[in-house]
Chain A
Amino acid sequence: MSRRPLVRECPPTSWYFRQPRYLRYMSREITSIFVGAYCVLLVVGLQRLSAGPAAWDGFLLALRSPASVVFQFLALVAAVYHAATWFNATQKAMPLQIGEDFVPGNIISGAHYVAWGVLSVVVLFLAGVF
Protein backbone atom coordinates (compact mmCIF):
# COMPACT_ATOMS: atom_id res chain seq x y z
CA MET A 1 0.00 0.00 0.00
CA SER A 2 1.35 3.39 -0.93
CA ARG A 3 1.79 6.14 1.58
CA ARG A 4 -0.17 9.16 0.40
CA PRO A 5 -1.15 11.24 3.41
CA LEU A 6 -3.93 13.76 2.95
CA VAL A 7 -3.12 17.28 4.11
CA ARG A 8 -6.09 19.19 5.48
CA GLU A 9 -5.17 22.88 5.46
CA CYS A 10 -5.86 25.22 8.36
CA PRO A 11 -8.01 27.98 6.80
CA PRO A 12 -5.73 31.06 7.06
CA THR A 13 -8.44 33.70 7.51
CA SER A 14 -11.33 31.89 9.17
CA TRP A 15 -9.66 29.53 11.63
CA TYR A 16 -10.73 31.63 14.60
CA PHE A 17 -14.37 30.77 14.00
CA ARG A 18 -13.63 27.10 14.61
CA GLN A 19 -13.62 27.33 18.39
CA PRO A 20 -14.97 29.85 20.92
CA ARG A 21 -11.54 29.88 22.58
CA TYR A 22 -10.00 31.17 19.35
CA LEU A 23 -12.53 34.02 19.30
CA ARG A 24 -11.63 34.84 22.89
CA TYR A 25 -7.98 34.95 21.86
CA MET A 26 -8.73 37.22 18.90
CA SER A 27 -10.76 39.57 21.07
CA ARG A 28 -7.76 39.86 23.42
CA GLU A 29 -5.48 40.62 20.47
CA ILE A 30 -7.89 43.19 19.02
CA THR A 31 -7.89 45.18 22.27
CA SER A 32 -4.30 46.12 21.46
CA ILE A 33 -5.53 48.20 18.52
CA PHE A 34 -7.50 50.42 20.94
CA VAL A 35 -4.62 50.55 23.41
CA GLY A 36 -2.25 51.52 20.57
CA ALA A 37 -4.65 54.15 19.22
CA TYR A 38 -4.99 55.68 22.69
CA CYS A 39 -1.19 55.89 22.97
CA VAL A 40 -1.15 57.79 19.67
CA LEU A 41 -3.79 60.13 21.11
CA LEU A 42 -1.54 60.80 24.13
CA VAL A 43 1.42 61.57 21.87
CA VAL A 44 -0.72 63.98 19.84
CA GLY A 45 -1.76 65.58 23.16
CA LEU A 46 1.90 66.09 24.11
CA GLN A 47 2.62 67.61 20.76
CA ARG A 48 -0.37 70.01 21.16
CA LEU A 49 0.82 70.92 24.65
CA SER A 50 4.22 71.89 23.31
CA ALA A 51 2.57 74.00 20.61
CA GLY A 52 1.18 76.48 23.12
CA PRO A 53 -2.01 77.23 25.14
CA ALA A 54 -4.30 77.76 22.14
CA ALA A 55 -3.36 74.43 20.59
CA TRP A 56 -3.80 72.69 23.95
CA ASP A 57 -7.27 74.20 24.50
CA GLY A 58 -8.26 73.06 21.02
CA PHE A 59 -7.08 69.55 21.86
CA LEU A 60 -9.08 69.50 25.11
CA LEU A 61 -12.15 70.67 23.23
CA ALA A 62 -11.71 67.93 20.63
CA LEU A 63 -11.47 65.35 23.44
CA ARG A 64 -14.98 66.35 24.54
CA SER A 65 -16.60 65.67 21.18
CA PRO A 66 -19.10 62.76 21.27
CA ALA A 67 -16.99 60.62 18.89
CA SER A 68 -13.94 61.15 21.07
CA VAL A 69 -15.85 60.28 24.25
CA VAL A 70 -17.13 57.07 22.65
CA PHE A 71 -13.59 56.19 21.54
CA GLN A 72 -12.15 56.86 25.00
CA PHE A 73 -14.83 54.69 26.57
CA LEU A 74 -14.08 51.83 24.17
CA ALA A 75 -10.34 52.26 24.74
CA LEU A 76 -10.90 52.10 28.51
CA VAL A 77 -12.92 48.88 28.23
CA ALA A 78 -10.29 47.39 25.90
CA ALA A 79 -7.42 48.39 28.18
CA VAL A 80 -9.11 46.93 31.27
CA TYR A 81 -9.85 43.67 29.42
CA HIS A 82 -6.30 43.53 28.06
CA ALA A 83 -4.83 44.18 31.52
CA ALA A 84 -7.02 41.47 33.06
CA THR A 85 -5.86 38.86 30.51
CA TRP A 86 -2.28 39.94 31.18
CA PHE A 87 -2.61 39.65 34.96
CA ASN A 88 -4.32 36.29 34.63
CA ALA A 89 -1.37 35.11 32.52
CA THR A 90 1.21 36.09 35.16
CA GLN A 91 0.50 32.97 37.21
CA LYS A 92 1.50 30.85 34.19
CA ALA A 93 4.54 32.86 33.21
CA MET A 94 5.89 33.42 36.73
CA PRO A 95 5.10 30.45 38.96
CA LEU A 96 6.58 30.76 42.41
CA GLN A 97 7.90 27.68 44.17
CA ILE A 98 8.45 27.73 47.91
CA GLY A 99 10.01 24.49 49.10
CA GLU A 100 8.14 21.66 47.40
CA ASP A 101 4.94 23.62 46.82
CA PHE A 102 3.91 26.22 44.34
CA VAL A 103 2.17 29.39 45.49
CA PRO A 104 -1.46 29.15 44.26
CA GLY A 105 -1.88 30.90 40.92
CA ASN A 106 -4.68 33.18 42.07
CA ILE A 107 -2.39 34.69 44.71
CA ILE A 108 0.16 35.61 42.02
CA SER A 109 -2.48 37.11 39.73
CA GLY A 110 -4.26 38.67 42.72
CA ALA A 111 -1.05 40.42 43.81
CA HIS A 112 -0.89 42.03 40.38
CA TYR A 113 -4.48 43.28 40.66
CA VAL A 114 -3.70 44.75 44.08
CA ALA A 115 -0.57 46.48 42.73
CA TRP A 116 -2.65 47.78 39.81
CA GLY A 117 -5.27 49.21 42.19
CA VAL A 118 -2.66 50.85 44.43
CA LEU A 119 -0.77 52.38 41.50
CA SER A 120 -4.01 53.65 39.97
CA VAL A 121 -4.86 55.43 43.23
CA VAL A 122 -1.36 56.96 43.32
CA VAL A 123 -1.73 58.20 39.73
CA LEU A 124 -5.17 59.65 40.45
CA PHE A 125 -3.74 61.31 43.59
CA LEU A 126 -0.87 62.85 41.62
CA ALA A 127 -3.41 64.06 39.04
CA GLY A 128 -5.17 65.91 41.86
CA VAL A 129 -8.42 63.91 41.77
CA PHE A 130 -8.58 63.62 45.59
Chain B
Amino acid sequence: MTPLKERLVQLEVLRYYPDTDTEAHFQTYEVVCQEEWVVLDALNKIKADIDPTLNYRWSCHMAVCGSCGMMINGEPKLSCHAFLREYEGVIRVEPLAHFPVERDLVTAPDDFMEKLKRVKPYVIPKEIKPISEGEYKQTPAQLMKFRQYSMCINCMLCYAACPQYGLTPSFIGPAALTLAHRYNQDSRDGGRKERQEVVATHEGVWECTFVGACSEVCPAHVDPASALQQMKITSSIDWIVEHLIPGGKS
Protein backbone atom coordinates (compact mmCIF):
# COMPACT_ATOMS: atom_id res chain seq x y z
CA MET B 1 0.00 0.00 0.00
CA THR B 2 1.38 3.41 -0.92
CA PRO B 3 1.73 5.68 2.11
CA LEU B 4 -0.77 8.53 2.32
CA LYS B 5 0.61 11.88 1.23
CA GLU B 6 1.18 14.44 3.93
CA ARG B 7 1.18 18.20 3.70
CA LEU B 8 2.07 21.02 6.08
CA VAL B 9 -1.02 23.21 6.35
CA GLN B 10 -1.18 26.71 7.81
CA LEU B 11 -4.45 27.78 9.36
CA GLU B 12 -5.29 31.24 10.54
CA VAL B 13 -8.06 30.78 13.08
CA LEU B 14 -10.18 33.46 14.70
CA ARG B 15 -9.96 33.31 18.49
CA TYR B 16 -12.27 34.93 21.00
CA TYR B 17 -12.47 34.11 24.68
CA PRO B 18 -15.39 35.96 26.28
CA ASP B 19 -14.00 36.01 29.83
CA THR B 20 -10.88 37.98 28.97
CA ASP B 21 -11.16 39.29 25.37
CA THR B 22 -12.96 42.39 24.17
CA GLU B 23 -12.03 41.69 20.57
CA ALA B 24 -11.24 38.70 18.44
CA HIS B 25 -7.79 38.02 16.99
CA PHE B 26 -6.29 35.55 14.55
CA GLN B 27 -3.97 32.80 15.66
CA THR B 28 -1.85 30.89 13.17
CA TYR B 29 -1.25 27.17 13.47
CA GLU B 30 0.98 24.91 11.40
CA VAL B 31 -0.15 21.35 11.32
CA VAL B 32 0.89 18.28 9.34
CA CYS B 33 -2.18 16.92 7.58
CA GLN B 34 -2.93 14.11 5.25
CA GLU B 35 -3.70 15.09 1.70
CA GLU B 36 -7.32 13.88 1.76
CA TRP B 37 -8.26 15.52 5.06
CA VAL B 38 -10.92 18.17 5.50
CA VAL B 39 -10.54 21.42 7.46
CA LEU B 40 -12.32 19.82 10.44
CA ASP B 41 -9.62 17.10 10.59
CA ALA B 42 -6.96 19.80 10.73
CA LEU B 43 -8.82 21.53 13.59
CA ASN B 44 -9.13 18.22 15.45
CA LYS B 45 -5.39 17.65 15.05
CA ILE B 46 -4.70 21.15 16.39
CA LYS B 47 -6.96 20.53 19.36
CA ALA B 48 -5.42 17.14 20.09
CA ASP B 49 -1.74 17.97 19.60
CA ILE B 50 -1.18 21.73 19.69
CA ASP B 51 -3.83 23.77 21.48
CA PRO B 52 -6.59 22.10 23.52
CA THR B 53 -8.22 25.49 24.23
CA LEU B 54 -9.50 25.86 20.65
CA ASN B 55 -13.32 25.67 20.51
CA TYR B 56 -15.56 24.68 17.63
CA ARG B 57 -18.65 22.55 17.05
CA TRP B 58 -18.96 19.33 15.13
CA SER B 59 -20.60 15.99 15.46
CA CYS B 60 -21.17 13.74 12.47
CA HIS B 61 -18.12 14.45 10.23
CA MET B 62 -20.28 13.52 7.24
CA ALA B 63 -22.25 16.64 6.30
CA VAL B 64 -25.51 15.60 7.90
CA CYS B 65 -25.69 17.13 11.38
CA GLY B 66 -25.11 20.72 10.25
CA SER B 67 -23.11 21.76 13.31
CA CYS B 68 -19.65 22.41 11.84
CA GLY B 69 -20.40 25.48 9.70
CA MET B 70 -17.59 28.07 9.51
CA MET B 71 -16.25 30.74 7.20
CA ILE B 72 -13.36 29.19 5.32
CA ASN B 73 -11.46 31.79 3.30
CA GLY B 74 -14.53 33.98 3.64
CA GLU B 75 -16.97 31.38 2.29
CA PRO B 76 -19.59 29.69 4.48
CA LYS B 77 -18.74 25.96 4.47
CA LEU B 78 -19.25 22.81 6.47
CA SER B 79 -15.71 22.25 7.76
CA CYS B 80 -16.23 18.48 7.47
CA HIS B 81 -16.92 18.98 3.79
CA ALA B 82 -14.12 21.44 2.98
CA PHE B 83 -11.26 19.40 1.55
CA LEU B 84 -7.76 20.70 2.23
CA ARG B 85 -6.71 19.83 -1.31
CA GLU B 86 -9.02 22.55 -2.59
CA TYR B 87 -7.06 25.25 -0.76
CA GLU B 88 -3.62 26.72 -1.32
CA GLY B 89 -1.56 28.79 1.09
CA VAL B 90 -2.84 29.90 4.47
CA ILE B 91 -6.43 28.84 5.14
CA ARG B 92 -8.40 31.42 7.09
CA VAL B 93 -11.03 29.94 9.42
CA GLU B 94 -13.61 32.18 11.09
CA PRO B 95 -16.92 31.62 12.87
CA LEU B 96 -20.06 31.82 10.71
CA ALA B 97 -20.68 35.41 9.63
CA HIS B 98 -23.76 37.33 10.87
CA PHE B 99 -24.03 35.37 14.13
CA PRO B 100 -22.66 36.50 17.50
CA VAL B 101 -19.46 34.68 18.42
CA GLU B 102 -19.83 32.70 21.62
CA ARG B 103 -16.23 31.58 21.75
CA ASP B 104 -13.58 30.98 19.03
CA LEU B 105 -15.45 29.29 16.15
CA VAL B 106 -18.63 28.67 18.13
CA THR B 107 -21.54 30.99 17.29
CA ALA B 108 -24.84 31.59 19.06
CA PRO B 109 -27.71 30.16 16.99
CA ASP B 110 -30.45 31.55 19.27
CA ASP B 111 -31.81 34.01 16.70
CA PHE B 112 -32.17 31.30 14.05
CA MET B 113 -33.89 28.96 16.52
CA GLU B 114 -36.34 31.70 17.45
CA LYS B 115 -37.14 32.33 13.79
CA LEU B 116 -37.60 28.66 13.05
CA LYS B 117 -40.27 28.52 15.74
CA ARG B 118 -42.06 31.52 14.30
CA VAL B 119 -42.74 29.89 10.91
CA LYS B 120 -44.44 26.88 12.56
CA PRO B 121 -42.29 24.25 10.87
CA TYR B 122 -44.57 21.29 11.39
CA VAL B 123 -47.65 19.86 9.69
CA ILE B 124 -50.79 21.69 10.78
CA PRO B 125 -53.34 19.14 9.57
CA LYS B 126 -56.02 20.32 7.16
CA GLU B 127 -58.48 18.10 8.94
CA ILE B 128 -57.89 16.17 12.12
CA LYS B 129 -59.03 12.58 11.73
CA PRO B 130 -59.26 9.95 14.42
CA ILE B 131 -56.48 7.38 14.46
CA SER B 132 -59.01 4.71 13.53
CA GLU B 133 -59.29 6.29 10.06
CA GLY B 134 -55.65 5.48 9.40
CA GLU B 135 -52.66 7.47 8.21
CA TYR B 136 -52.62 10.61 6.10
CA LYS B 137 -51.64 9.25 2.70
CA GLN B 138 -49.51 10.99 0.12
CA THR B 139 -48.65 10.10 -3.47
CA PRO B 140 -45.01 10.14 -4.68
CA ALA B 141 -45.84 13.24 -6.74
CA GLN B 142 -47.19 15.02 -3.65
CA LEU B 143 -44.00 14.09 -1.81
CA MET B 144 -41.77 15.40 -4.60
CA LYS B 145 -43.50 18.75 -4.40
CA PHE B 146 -41.74 19.54 -1.12
CA ARG B 147 -39.03 16.89 -0.73
CA GLN B 148 -36.14 19.12 -1.76
CA TYR B 149 -37.11 21.73 0.83
CA SER B 150 -37.22 19.13 3.57
CA MET B 151 -33.53 18.31 3.14
CA CYS B 152 -32.33 21.27 5.24
CA ILE B 153 -29.80 20.30 7.92
CA ASN B 154 -30.10 23.63 9.78
CA CYS B 155 -26.44 24.43 9.25
CA MET B 156 -27.13 28.18 8.88
CA LEU B 157 -24.62 28.58 6.04
CA CYS B 158 -27.33 30.36 4.08
CA TYR B 159 -27.67 32.96 6.85
CA ALA B 160 -23.92 33.51 6.85
CA ALA B 161 -24.06 34.00 3.07
CA CYS B 162 -27.06 36.32 3.05
CA PRO B 163 -26.10 40.03 3.14
CA GLN B 164 -29.72 40.97 3.82
CA TYR B 165 -29.65 38.98 7.05
CA GLY B 166 -26.30 40.57 7.96
CA LEU B 167 -27.66 44.07 7.37
CA THR B 168 -31.19 43.53 8.69
CA PRO B 169 -31.08 40.93 11.46
CA SER B 170 -34.87 40.96 11.85
CA PHE B 171 -35.11 39.18 8.43
CA ILE B 172 -36.59 35.72 9.04
CA GLY B 173 -34.00 34.45 6.59
CA PRO B 174 -33.56 31.72 3.98
CA ALA B 175 -33.73 28.41 5.88
CA ALA B 176 -36.68 29.29 8.15
CA LEU B 177 -38.74 30.71 5.29
CA THR B 178 -37.88 27.71 3.15
CA LEU B 179 -39.20 25.42 5.86
CA ALA B 180 -42.42 27.42 5.89
CA HIS B 181 -42.61 26.76 2.13
CA ARG B 182 -41.87 23.07 2.70
CA TYR B 183 -44.95 22.74 4.95
CA ASN B 184 -47.10 24.99 2.76
CA GLN B 185 -46.39 22.63 -0.14
CA ASP B 186 -47.32 19.53 1.85
CA SER B 187 -50.64 18.02 0.78
CA ARG B 188 -51.45 17.11 4.40
CA ASP B 189 -50.96 20.66 5.65
CA GLY B 190 -53.52 23.39 6.11
CA GLY B 191 -51.40 25.93 7.98
CA ARG B 192 -50.39 28.28 5.17
CA LYS B 193 -52.66 31.08 6.34
CA GLU B 194 -51.11 31.05 9.82
CA ARG B 195 -47.60 31.05 8.38
CA GLN B 196 -48.41 33.91 6.03
CA GLU B 197 -48.55 36.22 9.05
CA VAL B 198 -44.79 35.77 9.31
CA VAL B 199 -43.92 34.94 5.69
CA ALA B 200 -45.72 37.71 3.78
CA THR B 201 -44.21 40.60 5.72
CA HIS B 202 -41.26 42.97 5.47
CA GLU B 203 -39.32 40.72 7.82
CA GLY B 204 -40.42 37.75 5.75
CA VAL B 205 -40.02 37.17 2.03
CA TRP B 206 -40.18 40.87 1.15
CA GLU B 207 -36.82 41.50 2.82
CA CYS B 208 -35.27 39.14 0.27
CA THR B 209 -33.76 40.89 -2.76
CA PHE B 210 -32.75 37.65 -4.44
CA VAL B 211 -29.00 37.86 -4.03
CA GLY B 212 -29.15 34.08 -4.43
CA ALA B 213 -26.09 33.44 -2.24
CA CYS B 214 -28.10 31.10 0.03
CA SER B 215 -28.63 28.60 -2.76
CA GLU B 216 -25.01 28.79 -3.89
CA VAL B 217 -23.63 27.84 -0.46
CA CYS B 218 -26.29 25.35 0.69
CA PRO B 219 -24.57 21.97 1.17
CA ALA B 220 -27.88 20.09 0.99
CA HIS B 221 -29.03 21.58 -2.37
CA VAL B 222 -32.18 22.88 -0.75
CA ASP B 223 -32.24 26.00 -2.99
CA PRO B 224 -33.78 28.43 -0.50
CA ALA B 225 -33.72 31.23 -3.09
CA SER B 226 -36.19 29.30 -5.21
CA ALA B 227 -38.53 28.71 -2.24
CA LEU B 228 -38.51 32.42 -1.37
CA GLN B 229 -39.22 33.57 -4.93
CA GLN B 230 -42.14 31.13 -5.13
CA MET B 231 -43.52 32.48 -1.88
CA LYS B 232 -43.24 36.04 -3.22
CA ILE B 233 -45.40 35.01 -6.17
CA THR B 234 -48.06 33.30 -4.06
CA SER B 235 -48.07 36.18 -1.56
CA SER B 236 -48.55 38.65 -4.42
CA ILE B 237 -51.43 36.59 -5.77
CA ASP B 238 -52.99 36.65 -2.28
CA TRP B 239 -52.70 40.43 -2.26
CA ILE B 240 -54.26 40.81 -5.71
CA VAL B 241 -57.14 38.50 -4.81
CA GLU B 242 -57.74 40.35 -1.56
CA HIS B 243 -57.44 43.92 -2.82
CA LEU B 244 -58.28 43.98 -6.50
CA ILE B 245 -60.92 41.31 -6.97
CA PRO B 246 -64.34 42.34 -5.62
CA GLY B 247 -65.38 39.97 -2.87
CA GLY B 248 -62.00 38.20 -3.08
CA LYS B 249 -60.57 36.68 0.04
CA SER B 250 -57.03 35.40 0.38
B-contacting residues of A (Cβ < 8 Å)? 1-8, 10, 12, 15-16, 18-19, 21-22, 25, 29, 89, 92-95, 97, 99-102
| A7 contacts B210, C-beta separation under 8 Å | no
By a CB distance below 8 angstroms, the chain B residues around A101 are 144
By a CB distance below 8 angstroms, the chain B residues around A95 are 226, 230
Q: Is B124 an interface residue (CB 8 A)?
A: no
Q: Is B101 an interface residue (CB 8 A)?
A: yes
A5 CB contact (under 8 Å) in B100, B163, B167? B100
| B213 contacts A19, C-beta separation under 8 Å | yes
Alpha-carbon gap, A7 to B16, bound state (A)? 11
Q: Is B97 an interface residue (CB 8 A)?
A: yes
Alpha-carbon gap, A25 to B230, bound state (A)? 19
In the complex, the chain A residue whose C-beta lies closest to that of B14 is: A8
CB within 8 Å for A21 and B216 given contacts A5-B102, A99-B141: yes
Question: What does DSSP make chain B's interface, helix, strand, loop or mixed?
Answer: mixed
In the complex, the chain B residue whose C-beta lies closest to that of A21 is: B213
In the complex, the chain A residue whose C-beta lies closest to that of B233 is: A93
| B213 contacts A1, C-beta separation under 8 Å | no
By a CB distance below 8 angstroms, the chain A residues around B195 are none
Q: Is B135 an interface residue (CB 8 A)?
A: no
Total number of residue pairs linking A and B with CB closer than 8 Å: 79
| A6 contacts B226, C-beta separation under 8 Å | no
- List 11 A-B pairs, Cβ < 8 Å: A5-B108, A6-B18, A6-B21, A10-B163, A16-B163, A19-B75, A21-B216, A93-B226, A93-B230, A93-B233, A101-B144
By a CB distance below 8 angstroms, the chain B residues around A22 are 163, 211, 213
| A1 contacts B210, C-beta separation under 8 Å | no
CB within 8 Å for A89 and B210 given contacts A3-B102, A5-B100, A19-B74: yes
B225 CB contact (under 8 Å) in A6, A29, A92? A92
Q: Is B223 an interface residue (CB 8 A)?
A: yes
Q: Is B121 an interface residue (CB 8 A)?
A: no
Query: Which of B91-136 touch A at CB < 8 Å?
Result: 97-98, 100-102, 107-108
By a CB distance below 8 angstroms, the chain A residues around B229 are 89, 92-93
| B218 smallest CB distance to A (angstroms) | 13
| A64 smallest CB distance to B (angstroms) | 37
| B23 contacts A6, C-beta separation under 8 Å | yes
| B206 smallest CB distance to A (angstroms) | 14
| B240 smallest CB distance to A (angstroms) | 16
| A92 contacts B213, C-beta separation under 8 Å | no
| B211 contacts A21, C-beta separation under 8 Å | yes
